[in-house]
Amino acid sequence: MTLITALPASPVVLSQKNNTMSAQILILSQSHLEGSTDHVCQWLSHLRIPFLRLNGEDLCQLQRLTDLPANENIAAVWYRRKIHSFPAQYQLKKADFNTEYTLKRFLIDEFNGLHSYLFHLIDRHKWLNDPFTEDSLNKLQVLALARKCSIHTPFTEVVTTKKEIESLLNTYPEIIVKPISECIFLEDAAGGQYKMLTKTIHHANLHLVPENFFPSLVQEKVEKKFEIRAFYLNGEWHAMAIFSQNNQKTREDFRNYDTERPNRTVPYQLPATLEAKLHQLMKLLHFRTGSVDLMVDKQGNYYFLEINPEGQFGMVSYPCNYYLEKKLAILLGESIQELEPATL
């Protein structure tokens, strides 16, 4: 505001500035393969809520720092994705494995340095989820926080020896191993693709485990009746049950999608007490949105698995007919209205 009054601007410019001043939603996303962002943007357009979608790819065309969105123009930020891929021109002309890795890592760090400047540029309270917490989310810490909120979690440990696994198998008939960070996807020279998913260890395959290995997260295996993915939006839970038990392919991890016999996905209402505890967890993390994965065992006990703050909600919204993209657009729109009286 002070900037505008200080400028010797013509009345026309002034009124234009005033019109666009507060009234904009900033969406940080990527240019490709982001159907959920597209959907939310389409709802925003339909509801005539002004927004600016900034894809990570757009930053590669940045002319100067002042091109970045200015704090005073932004009412709320929805941070969905960072970037899909760097423009092809920033690749080595000749493949060189060692240099390529170092350079790629460097480009990512450089990009992150620029991208996370936005976290500082725009007031922290305007972000739907606190960007600093979101960017440094730690699976082990989230599990610890969940337990602090008296949410039941599967027994979890980080181990480095076969001996330790062997002793765990005395308590739990089966354990699973999954990454502490995120799953990766690998490609071989022939174009074969490999995805890293949750794997089970039991007495019968224990011999495949080396004596010593890199620190790995292990968890008791829960004999599940079904899984739950619950999307949180501003205090409300929108949950979906995922029945995959009949399907050998998805028995361990529902991401082992089976396109011929997909998992059954239906609306689910979490018990009120669990909702309240999960709500507490989201508050501790300063998240107003995100997806939570849970598991229900044969006896009906709930286990908290993890949080995905970026919110994979398309896979919940459509099968359950929840219109979460519309709800999110409306919520973002409300933050403009909230801001307007203050700036007028």
Partner 1 sequence: MEYFNLYANCQLVTGANMSLLCDLQMRRYYHIPNDTAEVITYLQQHSIDECIAYYGEDNREAITGYIDFLLSRELGFTDTQHLPELTPLSLSWDRFGDITNVIIEYNEEIDYNSAFFRELFNQQVHALEIRCYQHLPLEKLRSLLEQFNGTTLKFIKLVLPFHLTLELASLDQLVKKYPRVKSILVHTSPVDKMERIFAESVPVIFYKGSINSCLACGEIRTNYFTTNIELFTESQHHNTCLNRKLSIDLQGNIKNCPSLPESYGHVSTANLQEVLDNKDFHKYDNIRKDDIKVCKDCEFRHVCTDCRAYREDPNDLYSRPLKCGYDPYTNNWENWSQLPMKQQAIACYGLTALIN
- Helices and strands in the chain: count of H runs, count of E runs: 11, 14
Q: For partner 1, which is the closer residue by CB, 38 or 57?
A: 38
What is the x/- site pattern for partner 1, positions 127-146, by CB under 8 A?
A: --------------------
Q: For partner 1, which is the closer residue by CB, 44 or 165?
A: 44
- The DSSP-derived string for 290-327 is EEEEEEEETT--EEEEEEETT---HHHHHHHT--HHHH
The answer to whether residues 115 and 56 touch, using CB atoms and an 8 Å cutoff, is yes
In degrees and rounded to multiples of 5, residue 300 shows phi and psi of 90, 10
Q: For partner 1, which is the closer residue by CB, 300 or 341?
A: 300
Q: For partner 1, which is the closer residue by CB, 41 or 281?
A: 41
Sequence-separated (6 or more) residues with CB below 8 Å from residue 204:
none
Q: For partner 1, which is the closer residue by CB, 48 or 207?
A: 48
DSSP-derived letter for residue 222 is P
Q: Binding of partner 1 at residue 69 (CB under 8 A)?
A: no
**How is residue 164 written in tokens?**
């330790």
- Per CB under 8 A, the segment of 40-48, 63-71, 182-190, 276-284 that binds partner 1 is 40-48
Q: Binding of partner 1 at residue 249 (CB under 8 A)?
A: no
Among 43, 78, 127, 254, binds partner 1 (CB under 8 A): 43
Q: Binding of partner 1 at residue 318 (CB under 8 A)?
A: yes
Q: Binding of partner 1 at residue 50 (CB under 8 A)?
A: no
- CA-to-CA separations, 21 to 25, 48, 292, 339, in angstroms, rounded: 11, 16, 35, 11
Give dist(CA 24, CA 122) in Å, integer. Answer: 13
Q: Binding of partner 1 at residue 271 (CB under 8 A)?
A: yes
Q: Binding of partner 1 at residue 52 (CB under 8 A)?
A: no
CB of 329 to partner 1, least distance (A): 8
Q: For partner 1, which is the closer residue by CB, 80 or 115?
A: 80
Among 15, 161, 246, 248, binds partner 1 (CB under 8 A): 246
| Closest to 307 in 3D by CA, of 70, 171, 140 | 140
Q: Binding of partner 1 at residue 326 (CB under 8 A)?
A: yes
Give dist(CA 71, CA 283) in Å, integer. Answer: 24
CB of 234 to partner 1, least distance (A): 19
- The DSSP-derived string for 48-75 is T--EEEEEGGGGGG--SGGGSPPGGG-S
Among 17, 18, 21, 38, binds partner 1 (CB under 8 A): 38
How would you list the strands of the sheet with 76-79, edge to edge?
51-55, 25-29, 76-79
- Per CB under 8 A, the segment of 114-122, 167-175, 182-190, 266-274 that binds partner 1 is 266-274
DSSP-derived letter for residue 175 is E
What is the x/- site pattern for partner 1, positions 224-243, by CB under 8 A?
A: -----------------x-x
Give dist(CA 153, CA 306) in Å, integer. Answer: 9
Sequence-separated (6 or more) residues with CB below 8 Å from residue 155:
171, 172, 219, 220
CB of 268 to partner 1, least distance (A): 5
Q: For partner 1, which is the closer residue by CB, 59 or 320?
A: 320
Site of interaction with partner 1 (CB under 8 A): 38-39, 42-43, 45-47, 241, 243, 246, 261-262, 264-271, 318-323, 326
